[in-house]
Chain A
Amino acid sequence: MKTKNNPLYYILFIAIFAILLPAGYLSGLLSVNTISVWGRYFCFAIAALGIDLIWGYTGILSMCQAFFFCLGSYGIAMHLLLKKTVAAGAVLPDFMAWNKIDTLPLFWQPFHSFGWSLALCLLIPALFAFVIGFVLFRSRIKGVYMAIITQALTLAMWLIFLRNETNLGGTNGLTDFNTLLGYSLSSSSVKLALYMISFAVLCAAYFFCYRITNSKFGKVLQAIRDSESRISYAAYKVVDYKLAVFVVAALLAAVGGMLYLPQTGIITPGRMDVKASVEMVMWVALGGRGNLKGAVLGALLVNFLYSICTSLFPDSWLFILGFLFVITVLYFDKGFMGLLESIKQRFSPTRFKTPQTTH
């Protein structure tokens, strides 16, 4: 699908989130909680961009993005926890001491350094994505099989992370952090800074994805989505392309996870259970897949609704979200973005037909 490059969306988006919201907070209209809640939504939106790349543009439904997201979060969490432990004069994080472990497990060691932590947060998900992708794409698993296998994989990882023997905190996950690079996480200005960083990273990620989708590489991805066999007859190495985009999507998820952690203050395996991994795909579906703006919008809107509804309608929010999913899929199969476009067309005097894409 050709994305119409209308600057208005961007102006609006930046105006609201980079100016209106921080201004609202600084003038005292909005609480710092609202700021960090939206900061968290941005992290989801970053991961959603990755999902849109792999699903919307390449047609591979990967249900293990939640796992990559968690890998990023866990990496940063391990670093923060070690910093806190060292600052408190202890050798081991609390939960390990309770589990009667005497020495810090080897894989925790590199997380003492912030640089190494950042590197590993990106390297490990990339490595996982490469191995999983290599195994799955090589054997030409696609479509529904791909979705179910990756879901099963996430389930397996979830089970492993739940174990206490993994030394990652079990069900309780990792929580209770003090500082990030010496800044106190509980201070309002740090929260605002994290919000702004998340926003900047989201913008950067968006333009990165935008460049990808408009490059030749992106065109090949869309060709794979529309007809994998034809593009492979044209001597494109489909596996390599898929693998590359899978790794990129995993990296985006991991980056989202890394920014998510300091703003939430906890990471547990619950972030990658079946529910969480389906929900991540749902954001993109609701926003409009195959459309980067849609992915961002979907992630922001669904999470916003989730937060609002669980507070305002604690007994019936599941109905609201459930009906929303069903109705979106039934009537607006291009998601909110599709809806916006069609409204726009209805009101615009110069109606013209957009070329329909074939799936």
Chain B
Amino acid sequence: MRNAFLKQLPILLLGATALFSSCNNSAGKAGSSDSATAKETVKIGVLHSLSGTMAISEVSLRDAVQMAVDEINAKGGVLGKQIEPVIVDPASDWDLFAEKAKELLIDKKVSAVFGCWTSVSRKSVLPVFEQNNGLLFYPVQYEGEECSNSVIYTGATPNQQLIPAAEYLMSEKGGGYKKFYLLGTDYVFPRTANKILKAYLLSKGIPKENIIEEYTPFHHQDYQTIISKVKRFAADGKACILSTINGDSNVPFYKEFANQGLSSATCPIMAFSVAEDELRSMDTEFLVGHLAAWNYFQSNDLPENKKFVADFKAFCAKKGLPGGDKRVTDDPICWAYTGVYLWAKAAEKAGSFDVSKVRNALYGLDYPSPDGLVKMDPRNHHLAKPVVIGEIKPDGQFDIIWKSEGLVDPQPWSPLTSPDKDCDWVNHNGTYAKK
């Protein structure tokens, strides 16, 4: 028995070695390809969940990044090198996000990473990027209160989305609303967003009892109780909902809202997490007339955008992605796409793919995005861009009803909740205390 088994020892050892070589093949391959083809390609990482709960939103961002890469490659690449995207699936698993980030930075040695959607995934990879001197392009609107040297935030800060929306609703043109129901999914973005909104509303003289804050768990499906509360709250008119409800809870929420006899005329919903991509296949009948605030809508009529939308549809159809040419663009898709171009432009400007050189080249860099000319902040890693408010149309598109004059500068630290803090990587070391 033991003899027989001893005979197998070499085989087993061989098997084990094979296993490890396969585990390490990524690293090995990276090394070999680096030396062989270093002149032609540069690697970037794509870190978006392709399975699990967040796949709903993040798959489209992977597609947008892929499209930008294809376009740049077709035009001859960056600094004469073709971009080679390394796509991994962190599977909506926050620990796996950190693991994949390490893999991309340490084993695959990518020059930049485009990825993440939820705050928790960003927080999960943040230490990895800071310790390994990586660069993450983060394309989604977020809660602010962060100022990392390793992240380029192309999405909106609170002042680029929340405050203009609340301001609009309180204005004469917006309907002069006096009562606000802050409803969100229970996680850090809605919590922080509502904290800032509440501070803003209170500072504008809205009495405390006219602001209600409520949170539901992720994937909440049953909004009966909450809608009856809203109904009561909105009975005397002048009430609106500021919604940070996330993902798949939106359909049951809007359906229940309409079914209990409420409508956008009686109590409009201003959504901060509902964009064209979510509306693509929703039954929009119940949503028509409700509002959303973003930095970009597919319906804006700039020539750059017309081309971008047409290209994206053609790209999805050509690649045989689900949805095909019925796909739409939205705010995060636009910023995921723009992020790749910003990185490419910065690399060209710096003449190098080195992270710190690219980062320095990014300060104050402008780029003609589908949303018009946008500009990186000269002192921190956020993007100055316009704010738009749109009204949902029956075809799932937005009618732009308000647009900021010019670009709105990013404020990662909201002056309402952190008046003493600011973010500056040029004259200070990140977050500093204002005098």
Contacts and interface: CB of A to CB of B under 8 A. Distances in A.
In the complex, A touching B (Cβ < 8 A): yes
Interface of A: 6, 8, 12, 15-16, 20-21, 24, 29-34, 36-37, 40, 95, 98-100, 159, 162-164, 170-173, 175-177, 186, 264-266, 268, 270-271, 275, 304, 306-308, 310-311, 314-315, 317-318, 344, 347-350
B5 A175 contact: no
Contacts of A348: 1, 4-5
Interface stretch (B18-26, B229-237, B276-284): B18-26
B124 A268 contact: yes
B27 A266 contact: no
B127 interface: yes
B167 interface: no
A175 B187 contact: no
B56 interface: no
Nearest to B50: A314
Interface of B: 1-2, 4-6, 8-9, 12-13, 16-17, 19-20, 22-24, 26-27, 50-52, 87-91, 93-96, 98-100, 102-103, 106-107, 118-120, 123-124, 126-128, 131, 145, 186-188, 191-192, 195, 217-218, 417
B195 A100 contact: yes
Contacts of B123: 172-173, 175-176, 266
A164 B26 contact: no
19 contacts: A6-B2, A12-B13, A30-B20, A31-B106, A33-B27, A33-B107, A162-B186, A170-B188, A171-B188, A172-B123, A270-B93, A304-B19, A310-B96, A311-B103, A314-B87, A315-B50, A347-B4, A348-B5, A349-B4
A318 B51 contact: yes
A32 to B, nearest CB: 7
Nearest to A313: B89
A75 B216 CA distance: 27
B191 A265 contact: no
Given A186-B131, A266-B127, 4 more contacts: A30-B20, A164-B191, A171-B187, A266-B98
B132 to A, nearest CB: 8
A20 B24 CA distance: 13
A15 B10 CA distance: 13
A271 B26 CA distance: 26
A348 B5 CA distance: 8
Contacts of B417: 98
Contacts, number: 149
A98 B95 contact: no
* Highest count of chain A CB atoms <10 Å: which of B13, B93, B119: B93
A83 to B, nearest CB: 15
Majority DSSP secondary structure for residues of A touching B: helix
Contact of B1 (A16, A33, A275, A350): A350
Contacts of B50: 314-315
B218 A344 contact: no
A321 to B, nearest CB: 10
Nearest to A7: B2
Contact of B27 (A8, A30, A271): A30
B95 A266 contact: yes
Contacts of A162: 186-187, 217-218
A76 B98 CA distance: 18
A70 B191 CA distance: 23
Nearest to A186: B131
Contact of B106 (A33, A163, A264, A317): A33
A270 B95 contact: yes
Given A21-B20, A164-B186, A171-B120, A159 B217 contact: yes
Given A33-B103, A270-B94, A271-B95, A20 B20 contact: yes
B95 A30 contact: no
Given A8-B6, A159-B217, A350-B1, A171 B186 contact: yes
Nearest to A12: B12
Contacts of A307: 96, 99, 103
B95 A268 contact: yes
Contacts of A40: 99
B106 A170 contact: no
B367 to A, nearest CB: 28
Given A12-B16, A98-B145, A171-B186, A32 B24 contact: no
A270 B102 CA distance: 19
